[in-house]
Homo-oligomer: A and B are copies of this chain.
Amino acid sequence: MSAGDFESRWLSPGANAVWTQFLTVTHRLEQQIDRRLQDHHGISHTQYEILVRLADAEGHRLRMSELADRIVTAKSAVTYQVRKLADMGLVDPHKCERDNRATWVTLTETGRERLEAAAPCILSLVRKVFLDAIDCEQASQLAELLATWSGNLDDIT
């Protein structure tokens, strides 16, 4: 690494610091969420996210592919986790009548209760660490930033 190629080959010290800390913070955040859920509620963050997405969805149900898209994981991982959640009775997978290939996953009453039990634990963490750090102005800036990042990711693929 020679002196002048900060711009081309490597990141500037400042940019590098931001990027590194971004990675660190996101990992630590995930770690904390996972540990809290695992310790106090017996579900993983992935499982929790599935419950959340279902609760937010129209009719509290989603198809497998849609679920995979929303939580950003491989379809096979969704198959695996939905089976586990179904075994726990938190979720009810059933065939779609319109399309015999597809399966709907519906949040059960038990699932909703379990989610409501777990949510405060996570939301208080999210608030304390993530949200309380930003005022309304910053929040909208962050939202804009996230939208840009998301758009850039779309373009790249």
Contacts and interface: CB of A to CB of B under 8 A. Distances in A.
Interface of A: 9-11, 14-15, 17-19, 21-29, 31-32, 49, 70-73, 116, 119-120, 123, 125-134, 138-139, 141-143, 145-150, 152-153, 156-157
Given A23-B49, A152-B129, A119 B10 contact: yes
A153 to B, nearest CB: 5
Contact of A128 (B28, B73, B139, B156): B156
Given A9-B120, A119-B10, A138-B145, A150 B72 contact: no
B153 A129 contact: yes
Copies of this chain present in the complex amount to 2
Contacts of A116: 9
